[in-house]
Amino acid sequence: MAKQITYGKFLLIECTAGELMNAVGSNICICDWCGKPFLPSDKGVYIAVLNHWYCWDSFLQWYADAEWYPQDVDVERKNFEFYAPRLGVKCQ
Ligand SMILES: [Zn+2]
């Protein structure tokens, strides 16, 4: 079950590869960081500011160095509001 998660100021949705595949109408789900394909039952994180889905290992690597920039907030919010309802997450 997809849900919003909190790491710093980023808008993030934890969801399985399968939930993302349904949301975007894709048959495969590849982590945008490590490039590995994942099973529909594998969990990862949709990162609205990047419009990317990362597996958890990659997400934690990315987050260790990630910085949140106020100028990205508009695109981040737009991506989040597009994906959240498709993933069954309520916008906050
Ligand atoms: Zn990965």
**In this predicted model, what pLDDT tens digit does every residue of 14-62 receive, in sequence order?**
999 999 999 999 999 999 999 999 999 999 999 999 999 999 999 999 9
Return residues with CB closer than 5 A to ligand 1 (ion).
Answer: 31, 33-34, 55, 58
pLDDT at 41: 97
List 10's β-bridge partners, or say none.
7
pLDDT at 90: 74
Structure tokens at 82: 């597009």
Residue 38 identity (one-letter amino acid): F
pLDDT at 1: 87
| pLDDT value at 82 more than 70 | yes
Sign (positive/negative) of CA torsion 59, 60, 66, 68?
positive
91 — pLDDT class (breaks 50, 70, 90): low
85 — pLDDT class (breaks 50, 70, 90): very high
Ligand 1 center from residue 57 Cα (angstroms): 6
pTM: 0.94
Cα–chain center distance at 11: 8
Ligand 1 center from residue 30 Cα (angstroms): 8
